[in-house]
C-alpha cells in the first residue's frame, strides 16, 4: 500500500497533553520520613551533592540513593528559562551540538520529533547548520575535542541567539563532575525526558510551556 495512505490510516498519534512520563526523570520532593534538615547529600551518599538544602534539579542524576526520602512527583516542568526570546515565537530553529554525551540526551532530544510529541506543531524545528539556528542546544560534558567546535558553532549563529544546556552533564558536570556550561535555558535531567525538553523550549520562545 502507498506509504501516504499507510500514514493516514494510523491516525493522529500526537498527544494533546503530556501523558506518560517515566517517574525518575521528573522533579523529586522530600517525603518526610525524618526532618528534611537532617537529610544531606553526605548522609544519603548523593554522588553529585544534589541534596541540601532541598533538591537541586541541576545536579541530580537520578541514581535513587535518596529514595525513599526523596520521591518523584511526576512534574516534568523542570526547565529554567533565564532569557525569553519572543521573536522565536512562530519559528524556532535548533542546532544541537553534542560536546561529550553518553548518547541518551541525543536520543531524548531526537524523540521530541516523534509523532507523540511532534515539535513542529509548536513552531520548533531542527536545523543542520548553526548558520540557520536560533538556539544552540548543548549537551554532554565539555570535552577537549569539542570545545573548539562549540565555540565555532556559537559564533556561526546569527543574532539574536539562545544557548540551551540540556542534561545534567552540560548544566553541572553531572556524574563526571566537570565544568558547567553557561546557558540562557537550562534543562535538567539525566537525560531530560522529551516532555521536559519541549516544555522548556516552548517557554524559551515566550510560550506557556507544555
Partner 1 sequence: MKTRLIGEMGGYLLYSDHLEEIKTTKNTSNTSQEGSGRPVGSLIFQYGPATGGLIESVGMNIETFGEYIRTISVEPYKMRTISISRSIEDLLLSVERVNGNFAASHVTAFLTALENAYGVTPPRDVILGRVAQIELERIRNHLLVTQRLTEHAGFSVPSANLLYLVEEVNRVIGRAFGHRYFYGVNTLRGFRMDWQLDLPTLKNIVDEFQEVYRGILDNRVFIDRLQGNGLVSIDDSIGPAARAAGLMYDARLDGDLAEVYGEIGFNISRADSSDAFGRLLVRGQEVSESLRLIGKLNIRAQEYEAGWLDAWEKDIKGFTGGGLGRVESPSGDLAYYVGIHKGTISKVLLLPPSKVNLRLFCSSMTGNVFTDLPFNWESFGIWMSEVGVEFV
Partner 2 sequence: MVALIVALLMLGLSPVAALINRRSGYIACSAGSAVFVYYGMTNYSNELSLFYVAAGLVWLFTSVYSLYYDHHRWLGPLYTSSILGMAIALTTNNLLVFLAGYEIMTIPAYVTIGLYKKTDYSAFVFMGFGELSTILILAGFLYSYVVTGSLSFSPLTTITPFMIAAFGFMVKMGILPFMVTEWLPIAHGNAPSNVSAILSASMTLVAVYGLTKMALLTPRPDLFGFILLGVGGFSVFFGAFYAYVSDHAKVLLGFSTVENNGAILTSIGVYLTAPTHTLASFSLITTAVYVLAHSLAKTGLFLDTGMMENEYLILPRILKNRLSDVGGVLLASSMSGLLPTVGGVATWALLESLFMEAYTLHSALSIIPIVTGSIIAMGEGFATSTMLKFIIFAHIFNKRSSNEKTRPLILLLLGLLILAGGSATYIFYRPFLASNPALGLPFGLIASEFSSQPFGAISPLYVLILPSLIGALVIAVFGKPRIRRSEVWNSGAPLNEAYTSFAYSNNIRLMLGKLLLTHIGRDGVKVVDVFWSLTHTVAKLFISFSRHFSRTYMNSRLSWYVIYMILALIVFTVVVVA
Site string for partner 1, 46-85 (x = CB under 8 A): -x-------------xxxxx------x-------------
User: What, of partner 2, partner 1, none, does residue 196 touch, CB below 5 to 8 Å by kind?
Assistant: none
Distance between CA atoms of residues 134 and 128, nearest Å: 12
Size (the chain), residues: 210
Q: Where does residue 21 fall: left (phi above 0), alpha (psi -120 to 50 degrees), or beta otherwise?
A: beta
> Nearest to residue 25, comparing CAs of 2, 1, 57, 49?
57
54 touches, from partner 1, partner 2, none (C-beta below 5 to 8 Å by class) = none
Q: Does 20 bind partner 2 (CB under 8 A)?
A: no
149 binds partner 2 (CB under 8 A): yes
Q: Under the criterion CB under 8 A, does residue 30 sit at the interface with partner 1?
A: no
Q: How many residues bind partner 1 (CB under 8 A)?
A: 60
List 34, 131, 177, 179, residue binding partner 2 (CB under 8 A): 131
Measure the CA–CA gap between 210 and 199, rounded to whole angstroms: 5
The H-assigned helical ranges of the chain are: 3-10, 41-44, 104-110, 144-156, 167-172, 194-204
Q: Is residue 160 at the binding interface for partner 2, with CB under 8 A as the rule?
A: no
**Contact between residue 101 and residue 142 where contact means Cβ atoms under 8 Å apart:** no
- SS3 category, 62: coil
Q: How far is the CB of 136 from partner 2 (least distance, A)?
A: 11
Task: Read off the C-alpha cell for 41.
Answer: 547529600
Q: Which three cell numbers stand for residue 146?
A: 569539542
158 binds partner 2 (CB under 8 A): yes
Instruction: Say how many C-beta atoms besides its own lie within 10 A of residue 200's C-beta.
Output: 25
**Does 174 help bind partner 1 (rule: CB under 8 A)?**
yes
Q: Which stretch binds partner 2 (CB under 8 A): 13-21, 46-54, 109-117, 151-159?
A: 151-159
Residues in the site for partner 1, rule: CB under 8 A?
A: 1, 3-4, 6-7, 10, 13, 20-25, 45, 47, 61-65, 72, 95, 97-108, 110-111, 113-117, 127-130, 140-141, 143-146, 149, 153, 174-176, 190-191, 193-194
Amino acid at each position: 500500500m502507498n506509504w501516504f495512505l499507510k500514514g493516514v490510516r494510523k491516525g493522529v498519534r500526537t498527544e494533546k497533553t503530556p501523558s506518560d512520563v517515566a517517574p525518575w526523570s521528573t522533579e523529586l520532593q522530600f517525603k518526610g520520613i525524618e526532618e528534611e534538615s537532617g537529610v544531606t547529600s553526605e548522609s544519603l551518599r548523593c554522588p553529585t551533592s544534589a541534596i541540601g538544602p532541598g533538591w537541586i534539579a541541576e545536579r541530580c542524576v537520578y541514581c535513587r540513593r535518596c529514595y525513599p526520602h526523596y520521591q518523584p512527583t511526576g512534574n516534568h516542568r523542570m526547565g529554567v528559562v533565564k532569557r525569553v526570546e519572543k521573536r522565536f515565537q512562530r519559528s524556532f530553529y535548533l542546532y544541537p551540538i553534542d560536546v561529550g554525551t553518553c548518547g541518551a540526551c541525543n536520543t531524548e532530544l531526537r524523540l521530541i520529533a516523534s509523532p507523540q510529541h511532534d515539535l513542529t506543531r509548536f513552531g520548533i524545528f531542527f536545523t543542520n547548520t548553526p548558520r540557520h539556528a536560533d538556539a544552540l542546544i548543548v549537551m554532554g560534558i565539555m570535552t577537549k575535542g569539542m570545545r573548539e567546535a562549540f565555540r565555532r558553532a556559537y559564533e556561526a549563529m546569527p543574532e539574536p541567539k539562545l544557548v540551551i544546556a540540556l542534561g545534567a552533564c552540560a548544566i553541572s558536570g553531572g556524574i563526571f563532575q566537570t565544568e558547567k556550561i553557561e546557558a540562557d535555558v537550562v534543562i535538567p535531567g539525566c537525560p531530560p525526558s522529551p516532555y521536559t525538553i519541549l516544555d522548556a523550549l516552548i517557554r524559551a520562545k515566550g510560550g506557556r510551556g507544555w
